[in-house]
Amino acid sequence: MAETVKERIVTLIPGDGIGPEITKVAVNVIEATGVKIKWEEVLAGESALCEYGDPLPEHVIASIRKNRVALKGPLTTPVGGGFQSVNLRIRKALDLYANLRPIRKFPGIKTPFDNIDLIIVRENTEDLYSGLEHIVVPGVVESLKIITERASKRIANFAFSIARRWKRRKVTAVHKANIMKLSDGLFLKTVREEAVKHPEIEYNELIVDNAAMQMVMNPSQFDIVLTENLYGDIFSDLAAGLVGGLGLAPGANIGDGVAVFEAVHGSAPDIAGKNIANPIAIILAGALMLDWMGETEAAKKIRKSVELVLEEGKVRTRDLGGTANTVEMGDAIIEKILKM
C-alpha cells in the first residue's frame, strides 16, 4: 500500500445514475473522520459523453495519474452495444492489475451465514476482458482469452502480499485448468510457483464450478480467493449476495502506485435522484482508500461506524429492509464517527 502523503488531493468521479448522490454522502463521511482532502472532481461515463463527446476524456486519466488515487461512483455500461466499458478503459489506461473485493458479514444483517470474512483478489487486465473479439464468418464470433505469465505472476504476488500484510491464513486459487489446460494451466502453474515462496500461508486450489458450490454451501472456508478476471467478476457478486448484496460491497482497483476505489454495483438509473440508494458500498470503498493512503485510523472509524449503525438496525435503506434515505444513512454513520 502507498505511504501517507502530505498533500492529499483525490480525484473524484461522481458517476452516473445514483452516483452523484452516494459519492456526495461518502465524501461527507470521509471528511467527518478529520482527514483533510482536496477533491478534484471530473466527469466520466454518460455525463462526460454528453459534455465532451467521450465517456472517458483524457483529462480524467491525467487527473488520476497526477493524484495517484481516485474515488469513483458507478458508471453505466451499455449492454450489447454502445461505448466500451469506462471501468475497463480506466483499468487498462492505468494498468490497475489487481481488483480487491473484501466481503464481510456485518452484524444485524440477516443472511444464512454468520461467519463470512473473505477477500477476492482478481486479475484485472486480461482474460476474456481483454475485449479481443471478431466475426469469423456471419453468425460466428470469436472472443480471445488472454492469459500471460507476467500478469499471473504479479496478481499472485499481490494476493500473497495481502495475505501476509493483513495476517490472512489461506489463499485459494480458482481455475478451470482441467479444461483450459494452456490458459488456466499457465495461471495455475504461475500461482503455484508463488505459493511455495510463502510456506507460512496455507494454499489450495478449486475448479471454478466446484468453488461456486463451495462458496454458497460453506463460505467461511474461504479467506483469500485468487482468480482470473472473468471468474473473479462473477465470484465477487456471488459472495456479495451472501452478506446482504452489492450495497455492502466495496472494491479497489490497484496498480503500481495508483489506485481507484469504487462502489461495485451499477448506476441504478431507475432510482436516480430519489435519495433512496444505499451509500454504504462507496463509503466502505472510501475506507479502503484511506487505508491505501496510510490513514488507517480514519478507515477503522468508518468501518466501525458502519458496523454500529447496521447492528443497531434503526437506520437502514430499503434494500436492507428499512425506510431510511441515502442522506439519513450517511448522517447516521457520521454521528457515530463524531462520537469516537
Active site residues: 129, 176, 209, 233
Pairwise CA distance, residues 326 & 21, whole Å:
8
Going from the C-alpha of 80 to that of each of 25, 46, 84, 85, 232, the distances in angstroms are 32, 16, 10, 11, 21
Going from the C-alpha of 77 to that of each of 81, 175, 231, 317, the distances in angstroms are 9, 27, 19, 25
C-alpha cell at position 4: 501517507
Q: Name residues whose C-beta falls within 8 Å of residue 167's C-beta, 6 or more positions apart in sequence.
A: none
Pairwise CA distance, residues 170 & 100, whole Å:
16
| Residue owning grid cell 466502505 | 284
C-alpha cell at position 238: 456471488
Going from the C-alpha of 8 to that of each of 25, 81, 117, 171, the distances in angstroms are 19, 38, 30, 33
Residue 10: beta bridge partners? 39
Q: Which residue from 301, 75, 101 is spatially nearest to 215, judged by alpha carbons?
A: 101
Per-residue exposure over 311-328, b if at least 16 CB sit within 10 Å of its own CB, e if not: eeeebbbebbeeebbbeb
Pairwise CA distance, residues 138 & 306, whole Å:
52
